[in-house]
């Protein structure tokens, strides 16, 4: 049983067509490519983490066809909110929606954590704007996301302490955990505080892929896992 990750599916089965070719011709037929690659790679007992930008739907009910598509793919899925997931609602409403539509292979990662085999999956959307002390909107959003990441990591640590053999905490996020305020790397510092050695993130597409942060960042190994960065192929997480 393996853990995979693939961010930024940008599905639009139930919403108005949203062309992705602004990020390059590689997006042509991307939903079929996602399906084919996923089915040829992921087994029924595997788990796939999807760190955000899942569906172009604007309302929860409009995301149904996209969530059905995800549910119909092999494996268990753990979803994280992205900046384009406008359909995202309260966890209670989303869980009820999943239950009512029998989408039981999908779990929501939001202020919580999951044990997957011998690992612990934590994460949050995070934030990507670099603000200043006078940028109150970004500052509040940044602080909120840092708080949500801490909640997830705290739940992860509790799970870690309850395991017979201490499992590794692995972080997943939509935005890279590299945004700062006044030069303070709060997100990276928080990951290190909880002993996280690696973080898989999405969000970045097209020309940005070549300059996206990768490798060591303050002791945390970063990897970009947006769909086009991976050729629409789920990436297996080493364990």
CATH number at residue 28: 3.60.21.10
Q: Looking at the predicted structure, is the pLDDT value of residue 119 above 80? A: yes
C-alpha atoms less than 13 angstroms from C-alpha of 233 in its C-beta half-sphere: 8
Q: Looking at the predicted structure, is the pLDDT value of residue 35 above 90? A: yes
Q: What is the pLDDT of residue 138?
A: 82
More confident residue, 127 or 20: 127
Residue 8 contacts residue 203 (beta carbons within 8 Å):
yes
Across 110-136, average pLDDT: 87
Q: Looking at the predicted structure, is the pLDDT value of residue 24 above 80? A: no
Name the range with the highest mean pLDDT among 13-17, 65-69, 180-184.
Answer: 65-69
Q: Looking at the predicted structure, is the pLDDT value of residue 181 above 90? A: no
Across 71-86, average pLDDT: 97
Q: What is the pLDDT of residue 7?
A: 98
Instruction: Identify the CA nearest to 168 among candidates 214, 218, 221, 124.
Output: 221
Across 28-49, average pLDDT: 96
**pLDDT > 70: percent of the chain:** 94
* Band of residue 137 on the pLDDT scale cut at 50, 70, 90: confident
Q: Looking at the predicted structure, is the pLDDT value of residue 40 above 80? A: yes
* Band of residue 51 on the pLDDT scale cut at 50, 70, 90: very high
Q: Which residue range forms the structural domain that includes residue 171?
A: 3-236
DSSP H or E stretch at residue 192: helix 186-193
* Band of residue 20 on the pLDDT scale cut at 50, 70, 90: confident
User: Rounded to two decimals, what is the model's pTM?
Assistant: 0.95
Q: What is the pLDDT of residue 149?
A: 98
Q: What is the pLDDT of residue 165?
A: 84
Across 10-27, average pLDDT: 75
Least confident range from 9-13, 99-103, 189-193: namely 9-13
C-alpha atoms less than 13 angstroms from C-alpha of 16 in its C-beta half-sphere: 2
Please give the angle made by the CA atoms of 223, 22 and 221, to the nearest 5 degrees: 5
Beta strands 114-116 and 119-124 are antiparallel
Q: Looking at the predicted structure, is the pLDDT value of residue 223 above 60? A: yes
- How many domains does the chain divide into? 1
Q: What is the pLDDT of residue 27?
A: 87
């Amino acid at each position: 049983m393996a853990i995979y990750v693939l961010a930024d599916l940008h599905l639009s089965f139930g919403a108005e067509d949203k062309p992705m070719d602004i990020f390059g011709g590689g997006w042509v037929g991307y939903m079929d490519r996602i399906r084919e690659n996923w089915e040829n790679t992921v087994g029924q007992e595997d788990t796939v983490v999807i760190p955000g930008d899942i569906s172009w739907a604007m309302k929860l009910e409009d995301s149904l066809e996209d969530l059905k598509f995800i549910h119909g793919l092999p494996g268990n899925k753990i979803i994280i909110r992205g900046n384009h997931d406008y359909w995202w609602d309260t966890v209670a409403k989303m869980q009820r929606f999943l239950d009512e539509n029998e989408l039981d292979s999908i779990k929501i990662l939001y202020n919580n954590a999951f044990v997957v085999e011998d690992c612990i999956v934590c994460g949050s959307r995070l934030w990507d704007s670099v603000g200043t002390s006078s940028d109150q909107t970004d500052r509040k959003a940044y602080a909120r996301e840092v708080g949500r990441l801490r909640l997830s990591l705290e739940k992860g640590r509790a799970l870690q302490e309850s395991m017979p053999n201490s499992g590794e905490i692995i972080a997943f996020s939509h935005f890279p955990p590299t945004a700062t305020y006044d030069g303070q790397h709060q997100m990276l510092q928080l990951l290190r505080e909880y002993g996280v050695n690696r973080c898989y993130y999405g969000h970045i597409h097209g020309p940005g892929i070549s300059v996206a942060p990768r490798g060591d960042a303050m002791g945390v190994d970063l990897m970009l896992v947006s769909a086009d960065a991976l050729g629409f192929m789920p990436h297996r997480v080493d364990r």
